[in-house]
Amino acid sequence: MLRETIERFRQAHLRIAEALGTADESLLEPAALYAHLKAVRADIVSHFREKDAFYPELSEALQTAGDNAGAQLARIFESNMKIQSAAVQRFFEALDRAAPAQLPQSYQTVASVIRQRLSTEEKAVFPLTVRKEPRRKP
Amino acid sequence: MIPVDAHPDRFLATIAGEPHVFHCHHYNCFLQKVITDQSALVDAPGLLTEAAVEVVLTELDGLSADRSMAQALFAQLGFGQLDLSALSAAGGRAVASGSHYALGFRSKFGSSGEPVCFFVAGFIEAAARRLFRAPFSVRERACAAMGAPRCEFEVSPGGRDAVPRTPGLGQQTPFPVRPGAAVSPHVDEGAIIAACAGLPLAGNAEGRVDAFGVSLTRHFANYYNLVSYRFDRAMEATAGEAAALAARILLVEAGQVCAFHTFGGIMESAEWEALVKPMIRSTEDWVYGMTAVVNALGWGRWSVASLEPGRRLELVIDGSYESNGYLAIFGASASPRCYLGTGGTSGLMNLVYQADIMSRPPLTPALYEKTFRDGSFFVAREVECRTMGAASCRFVAERL
């Protein structure tokens, strides 16, 4: 189950990376940037919401598998990711109220946080889950 | 009083060549808890105590300290009162009254189920090694954090043969020219640093330094370096990259906790009111005023490189104690290493532009949560680090 979730997340990461790359090209045109972010908003927000639900499940799965150390690490990530996730979702939810002139800078900060997060998950979190997923009974 | 040597050109202070920095009980206890919470992955007591032995023994040797000087140093630095009178070459017992770590832990986290004075145990072991020229090991038998009236330690002969020396001031490089925006026209940094140097920030009769609304210590910079970076490495060695990244998240969080309480406490203090506030003309001057005070703490030279009111801070640290120590102990790094600097940068901006520190709010856990979790708070990243080959360490804090 976790492996399938991770595979879905990996696909979402590719989409989000591409969406951020396209948004980067519109940094000098706030109206175009706004339109692009609005177009990808639903996908990104939905991905972050799914991740919010994923981390507690991950901690529990690792705990159930007897991997106490892994569960401890997952809880550290869970706490940190939850804060980031809330902030990213707030940014997208407030998009319609954002001042156009300030949008590029705000976006760049959010994009940096998203990229950092995806990288951390790819490098550190996903390998934990793949390695530690409890074996299913045949 | 044991002399403290100021190095105004490096924005550092040393005792017998060993760098010292001011940090409060919030940071000390939080950092320690970050490490002890990961005891399933790392040998937390060993990590915390061995680093203490190394820094304290290096300094006691540098001071040619005897028993009374070791006790005096403990009190002067704000760790409480230490009684080593019952120690002999056969070991014995040592007692700490008003232990900074025990009292700090209780005030921050409540009563503890186990002893918490790892640093103190290391200090005592170093003192025993210094006095009797032999290995010792120390176990805390009663701790004020657990409700005991005093902290009591059993000292036994034996233990590791050799204790590594610390790197002292570490690897230093010439400071680049300071950024043009480093100082505000209103905030007289030199006057602030001189005034801070004149504050009575040595331990009182109880070995406490109560200032800025917190319990301060003039701690060993290399203690922070050794415990932080060894923790980081031990986590990675035990559980791979996930654990290393988790460790860094926690260490940056410790920096934020430090900023919130220490910077916040300073900005709400009588000393700030008297010394810095009369110079302040704008909200941004609070940022400049605080960086000026930081430059009296022995943390290296902090400079504002650019400040967009309410939006973005670019901060440069020259000769940070973190990078000095990391480079000397571990050499070059592939990733940024100034965790305190990173947490301090976001902490400073969040205090000024999120927590409205100007209105002197109580620095409660609830305000911490609100400041660093809710709304459009600031996040910081270290974009250049001396440990990666840069001339300075550079941090950017932006609203998320």
Q: How much is the average pLDDT of B251-276?
A: 95
What is the length of chain B? 400
- The answer to whether B400 contacts A116, with C-beta atoms less than 8 Å apart, is no
Q: How much is the average pLDDT of A122-127?
A: 87
pLDDT digits (tens, 9 = 90+) for B264-320: 999 999 999 999 999 999 999 999 999 999 999 999 999 999 999 999 999 999 999
Q: How far is A113 from chain B (nearest CA, A)?
A: 8
What's chain B's average pLDDT? Answer: 95
- Closest CB to A68 among B40, B238, B240: B40
- The answer to whether B239 contacts A73, with C-beta atoms less than 8 Å apart, is yes
What integer pLDDT is reported at residue A130 of this predicted model?
66
- Closest CB to A76 among B238, B246, B372: B246
What integer pLDDT is reported at residue A105 of this predicted model?
86
Q: Is B312 on the interface with A (CB under 8 A)?
A: yes
What integer pLDDT is reported at residue B153 of this predicted model?
98
**Which residues does chain A have within 8 Å of residue B251's beta carbon, measured at their own beta carbons?**
none
What integer pLDDT is reported at residue B198 of this predicted model?
87
Q: Report the distance separating Cα B81 and Cα B204, nearest Å.
A: 10
Q: How much is the average pLDDT of B8-22?
A: 96
Q: How much is the average pLDDT of B4-23?
A: 95
Chain A residue with the nearest C-alpha to that of B369: A83
Instruction: State ipTM.
Output: 0.74
- Closest CB to A124 among B245, B312, B398: B245
Exposed, middle or buried, A31 (CB in 10 Å: 0-12/13-18/19+)? Answer: exposed
Enumerate residues 6+ apart whose C-beta is below 8 A from A84: A113, A117, B400
- The answer to whether A72 contacts B400, with C-beta atoms less than 8 Å apart, is no
pLDDT digits (tens, 9 = 90+) for B80-105: 999 999 999 999 999 999 999 999 99
Q: Report the distance separating Cα A74 and Cα A59, nearest Å.
A: 5
What integer pLDDT is reported at residue A3 of this predicted model?
82
Higher pLDDT, A41 or B179: A41
Least confident range of B35-44, B58-67, B83-92, B119-128: B35-44
**Which residues does chain A have within 8 Å of residue B383's beta carbon, measured at their own beta carbons?**
none
What integer pLDDT is reported at residue A131 of this predicted model?
59
**Which residues does chain A have within 8 Å of residue B241's beta carbon, measured at their own beta carbons?**
123-124, 127
- The answer to whether A127 contacts B242, with C-beta atoms less than 8 Å apart, is yes
Q: Is B373 on the interface with A (CB under 8 A)?
A: yes
Q: Is B400 on the interface with A (CB under 8 A)?
A: yes
- Closest CB to B242 among A83, A102, A125: A125
Q: How far is CA B28 from the centre of its chain?
A: 6
Q: What does the angle CA B265 – CA B266 – CA B271 come to, to the nearest 5 degrees?
A: 125
What integer pLDDT is reported at residue A133 of this predicted model?
46
Q: Is A88 on the interface with B (CB under 8 A)?
A: yes
Question: What three-state secondary structure class fits A81?
Answer: helix
Query: What pLDDT band is residue B60 in, cutting at 50, 70 and 90?
Result: very high
Q: How much is the average pLDDT of B255-262?
A: 95
Query: What pLDDT band is residue A47 in, cutting at 50, 70 and 90?
Result: very high
Q: Is the pLDDT of residue B108 over 80?
A: yes
What integer pLDDT is reported at residue B179 of this predicted model?
85
Q: Is the pLDDT of residue A135 over 50?
A: no
- Best to test chain B binding among A48, A73, A102 (most B CBs inside 10 Å): A73
- The answer to whether B41 contacts A69, with C-beta atoms less than 8 Å apart, is yes
- The answer to whether A128 contacts B242, with C-beta atoms less than 8 Å apart, is yes
Residue with tokens 């980081």: B232
- Best to test chain B binding among A48, A58, A76 (most B CBs inside 10 Å): A76
Least confident range of A79-88, B262-271, B278-287, B324-333: A79-88
* Sheet with B18-24, side-by-side order of all strands: B5-7, B12-15, B18-24, B214-220, B209-211
Q: Is the pLDDT of residue B213 over 90?
A: no
Q: Is B250 on the interface with A (CB under 8 A)?
A: yes
What integer pLDDT is reported at residue A136 of this predicted model?
42
Chain B residue with the nearest C-alpha to that of A132: B239
Chain A residue with the nearest C-alpha to that of B244: A124
Q: How far is A109 from chain B (nearest CA, A)?
A: 6
Q: What does the angle CA B227 – CA B229 – CA B233 come to, to the nearest 5 degrees?
A: 115
Q: Report the distance separating Cα A23 and Cα A35, nearest Å.
A: 9
- pTM given for the model: 0.91
Higher pLDDT, B170 or A100: B170
HEC secondary structure over B247-308: HHHHHHHHHHHHHHHHHHHHHCCHHHHHHCHHHCCCHHHHHHHHHHHHCCCCCCEEEEEEEE
What integer pLDDT is reported at residue A32 of this predicted model?
93
Q: Is the pLDDT of residue A138 over 60?
A: no
Cα dihedral A8, A14, A16, A18 in deg (nearest 10): -160
Percent of chain A with pLDDT over 70: 93
Q: Report the distance separating Cα B150 and Cα B173, nearest Å.
A: 44
- The answer to whether B242 contacts A110, with C-beta atoms less than 8 Å apart, is no
What integer pLDDT is reported at residue B182 of this predicted model?
80
Q: How much is the average pLDDT of B117-135?
A: 98
- The answer to whether B399 contacts A106, with C-beta atoms less than 8 Å apart, is yes
- Best to test chain B binding among A72, A93, A122 (most B CBs inside 10 Å): A72
- Best to test chain A binding among B34, B236, B245, B373 (most A CBs inside 10 Å): B245
